[in-house]
Amino acid sequence: MSDGDDASVVADFYARWAALYDRIATAPGIGRWRRITAGRAAAAGETVIEMGCGTGANLPFLREHVGPTGRVVGIDIAGPLIDRARRRAGEYDNVSVVRADATTMPVRAADAVLATFVCGLFEDPAAVVDRWCDLVGPGGRVALLDATASEDPRGRPLNPLFNSFVAAGSPSGGLRDVLYAPVGGTEGALSRRVDASRAALAARTVDRRHETFGLGFVGLLSGTVQRESKNSGPL
Ligand SMILES: C[S@@+](CC[C@H](N)C(=O)[O-])C[C@H]1O[C@@H](n2cnc3c(N)ncnc32)[C@H](O)[C@@H]1O
C-alpha cells in the first residue's frame, strides 16, 4: 500500500471490524504461533517494532521476550484497533502503540521488526520489507508471519475454503470475490505479495528459519540482516 487511498481503505475496513477481528486474532491456538514469532524477532533488553500491530495480540508475547529492560512499539493505521492495542499495552510501562503508516519509516532505530498477517496488504511488499531491514540494520532481526494457500498435502484440499476466507477478509473485496474465490481470485494476489515479501527478506538476511503452522496455511520466515545484504540465496 503505497498511496493514501489504499491506506485509508485498509484503515476503514479494520476499524469497522475491530471487535470481530480481535476475537479472531486472539482465538485459541493462534497464541502459540504468535509466541514463536515473537521469539524469532525479540530478545531480552532490545527494542522491537511491531508493524501493523492491529489489536495488539502479539504485544504480551513480545513483552515476554524483551523483558522489563527492553521496549516494544506497536504501529498501526486503524484507530479503533489501536485503542484496543493501547488497552493491552497499558499493562506494561515499556510497551506503547503509535498511529502511523508502517510502509514509510515512522521510527528511526530498532533491533528487530515483526509483522504478522500484514505483508499481504501492501502494494509493494518487497520495498517495505527492504525498508524494515534498513531500519534494523546489520545484525538486526525481521520476522514475518503470513497466511497463504497451503502446499501441505493435508491442507491442500482446504484451499478453496481458504480462498473464500481470504476474500471475505479482504479490505477491497466484495460478495462477488467471496463467491468466485474458491476457483481463484483474491488469494492469488495475497500469495504473490507474501512471496514478494519473503523473497525480499531472504535477499537481505542470514540465519534464516522458515517454519509452517496450521496445515501449511501459515508460514513464518525470520532472519538476521547481513552486512552486504543483497541476493543471499533461496529461503
Ligand atoms: C490482518 S491485520 C493483522 C493485525 C495483527 N498484526 C495481528 O496479527 O493480529 C492487518 C493489520 O495491518 C494494519 N495495516 C495495514 N496497512 C498498514 C500500514 N500501511 N501501516 C500500519 N498498519 C497497517 C491494519 O490496520 C491491520 O491492523
> pLDDT digits over 88-141, tens only?
999 999 999 999 999 997 788 999 999 999 999 999 999 999 999 999 999 999
pLDDT confidence of residue 229: 54
Coil/strand/helix, residue 55 = coil
Q: How far, in Å, is the centroid of ligand 1 from the Cα of 117?
A: 7
Q: 81: Cβ below 6 Å to ligand 1? A: yes
Cβ–ligand 1 distance for 61 under 6 Å, the answer no
Q: What is the DSSP string of 137-160?
A: -TT-EEEEEEE----STTTGGGHH
> Is the pLDDT higher at 174 or at 33?
33
The confidence band for 18, taking pLDDT boundaries of 50, 70 and 90, is confident
φ, ψ at 145 (rounded to 5°): -110, 125
Among 61-70, 171-180, 213-222, which stretch is predicted with the lowest mean pLDDT?
Answer: 171-180
What is the spatial distance between Cα 196 and Cα 191, in angstroms, rounded to a whole number? 8
Between the two ends of the chain, the Cα-to-Cα distance in Å is 24
230 in any annotated domain: no
Alpha carbons 96 and 154: distance in angstroms, whole number: 39
| Cβ–ligand 1 contact at 52 (below 6 Å) | yes
- DSSP structure class, residue 214: G
Q: How far is the CA of 52 from the centre of ligand 1 (A)?
A: 3
The cell for 45 is 533488553
In a domain, 187, yes or no: yes
Which of 143-147, 170-174, 176-180, 202-206 is predicted least confidently? 176-180
Nearest ligand 1 atom to the CA of 11 is 25
pLDDT tier, 65 (very low <50, low <70, confident <90, very high otherwise): very high
Structural domain includes residue 80? yes
Query: Structurally, how many domains does the chain consist of?
Result: 1
Does 235 map to a domain?
Answer: no
Whole-number Å distance between alpha carbons of 79 and 100 = 10
Task: Quick: pLDDT tens for 30-44.
Answer: 999 999 999 999 999
Half-sphere exposure of residue 99, counting CA atoms within 13 Å on the CB side? Answer: 13
Cβ proximity of 171 and 213 under 8 Å: no
Number of residues written out for the chain: 235
In order of 5, 25, 88, 232, the CA distances from 173 in angstroms are: 15, 20, 30, 36
* Cell digits of residue 169: 477478509
How far CA 36 is from CA of 16, 68, 114, 115, in Å, comes to 29, 19, 12, 13
- The range of the structural domain enclosing residue 51 comes to 4-225
Residues with Cβ within 8 Å of residue 10, at least 6 apart in sequence: 1, 77, 78, 121, 171
Nearest to 76 by CA among 130, 115, 133: 115
pLDDT at 172: 62
Q: Does 140 fall in a domain?
A: yes
Residue 95 sits in a domain whose CATH number is 3.40.50.150
133 is a domain residue: yes
How many Å lie between the centroid of ligand 1 and the Cα of residue 190? 14
Residue 193 placed within a domain: yes
Domain membership of residue 234 (yes or no) is no
7 lines ligand 1 (CB under 6 A): yes
Q: Is the CB of 167 under 6 A from ligand 1?
A: no
